[in-house]
Structure 1
Amino acid sequence: MSAPSTTAPTQQVNVSDLELPQLVEVKRQLEEELSHLTSSFAQLKQAQAKFRSCIESAKEVKRENKDKTILVPLTSSLYVPGKLRDAENVIIDVGTGYYVQKTRAQAVKYYEGKIEYIKTNLDALQETIEKKQDNMSYLLNVIQSKLHQSNNKH
C-alpha cells in the first residue's frame, strides 16, 4: 500500500484567462521576483570583482619587497604599514572566518576557481532573468489588451 501524495499537482493557468485584478497581482509578484534576481546578480558581480581584486593582491606580493615596509590592505579603503616577511606565501580568506596559507600561485588558482564558479551561476541567473523579463513583457501585453477591450466596451 503506498502513502498518499502530500503535494497536490500544480495546475497551469493561461494568463490571458485571468481578470485584470489577478493580472495586476501576477505582475506585482513577477516584479518582486525580477527585483530579487537582479539584486542577486549584482551581488554575484560584486563577489566576482572582489575575487579579481584578491588575485591582483596576491600577484603584487613580490620577492623584491621582502623585509620592506609596505601598505597592507585591511579593507578596500584601509591600509596599514607592515613588513613583508614571506614573499612566497599569502593568507587567504576561504569564508566564514577561516583563513589558510597558500603559495601565491595556489591563491591565484583558488580565486580563479571562485570566479569561474560565480560565472557559471551568473550565466544561469542571466538566463532566468531573461525568461522572467519575457514573461513580464507578455504579461504587460495581455494587461494592455484587457484594458483596451475594457475601454472599447464602455
Structure 2
Amino acid sequence: MADPAFRPFTPADAAWLAERHGTLYAQAEGFDDTFAPLVAGILADFIADHDPAREAGWIVEAGGKAVGSIFCVRLDDHTAKLRLFLLEPVMRGRGLGQRMLAHCMGFARKAGYARMELWTHESHKAACALYAANGWRLAAWKPVHSFGVDLVEQSWKIDL
C-alpha cells in the first residue's frame, strides 16, 4: 500500500467518517447505534462553524483510500481539543498513529494554542499508551454507561 498522506477533511468525508466510527466501535467495543449519530453531529458542527485558522481536520489516505482521521478544534483561546482520532485496524502498528498525533499537535502549536485536551476511554489501550508516550497526562477518569456499554471515560491534557 502507498505511503499514507494527509489531506484536509471536506464535508464529503462526513458520511464515511461517521459510518467508520460507528462500525469500528461497534466491532471493537460493542457500542450501540447511538455513537455514529454523535460523530455525525460533531462533524456537522465542525462543517457549519469552524475557524480554519485555528481548527482543522485531516483525512489520512493510503492507496487512494481513506484510512484515518484526526481533528484539532478550539475549546477556548488557549486550549485546543483533539477529536475524532481514528485509524483503520489494518493500518495500526506502523507508526501512523504517531505521525497523526504529531501532525495535529504541530498544527495546534502553530495556531497559537498553549495546551490541548482530549476525551477517550480506558479501553483504548494503544491510544492511551501513545498519548502517555508523547507527554500527555491523564487528568481525570470516571466510570460511565455510554453507547450501551460500561466504560471508563478519561480526560487527557498536555501543555504545548
Whether TM-score is above 0.5 comes out as: no
- Which structure is higher in RCO with an 8 Å CA cutoff and minimum separation 6? 1
Q: TM-score, normalized by length of structure 2?
A: 0.18
Which structure dedicates a bigger proportion of its chain to helix?
Answer: 1
Larger radius of gyration: 1
